[in-house]
Amino acid sequence: MYHPELHDNIGDEQHQYPVHTEVMLSMLMHSSSKEVFHASSTALATLSDHNAFIRKTLLEKGVHINVLEIMKKHLDSPEATESACRVLLHLFSESSFNLDVMTVTMTCLNNAMKTHEKVSCVQLVALRLMLQIMFNENMFDVPDDAMNAKETACLNLPVKVIKNQCLHKGTHKLILEALNKVCLKNVSF
């Protein structure tokens, strides 16, 4: 997984599939196993972190939707939840996505933070993902010089919707509690 040339070596020739496709298929075929989900989402996170082509391909295939759905099934497992958040963090890095994906992801993250309020590693990666979604500069693929004031206001609307949704569901309280826990752990008296 840590070798960037691995994807080129495994290729689609002679009925072989790229490693990210194999991992994605194993995740989908064994979605009822939280151990397989944890392992496959960790592998996909590493692959997408090291290879922008794999990240783009996985997003085009909609693996983020699958990860969110399987994450809901295994919400009771902190390991599965953390690895799901981590793969989404890497997949959404430098990517654009629509309001529906943002809304579903934020709802899942909210549920994960409530379920695992005492698990700091889940809290931390969920916080990172929330911040990435809310403040992603590449959220919309529109050149700056091509927008007028009205278009800019329209593009800011989804951010406002997400922020309002977060306030309505009490996400701000979860974020503050998680930050307090993380900060208190790192402060020594």
Structurally, how many domains does the chain consist of? 1
Residue 189, C-beta contacts closer than 8 angstroms, at least 6 positions apart: none
- Picking from 95, 43, 98, the residue whose alpha carbon sits closest to that of residue 67 is 43
In a domain, 28, yes or no: yes
Per-residue pLDDT of the chain (189 residues; tens, 9 = 90+): 455 555 555 454 444 567 788 888 889 888 899 999 999 999 999 988 888 888 888 898 889 999 999 999 999 999 999 999 999 999 998 887 777 888 888 889 988 988 998 888 898 899 888 888 877 655 544 444 544 554 444 445 455 666 666 666 666 676 667 666 666 565 544
In a domain, 162, yes or no: yes
- Picking from 184, 98, 182, the residue whose alpha carbon sits closest to that of residue 136 is 98
In a domain, 1, yes or no: no
- Helices and strands (H and E) in the chain: how many: 10, 0
Domain assignment of residue 151, given as a range: 6-186
Are 53 and 33 in contact by the 8 Å Cβ rule? The answer is: no
In a domain, 13, yes or no: yes
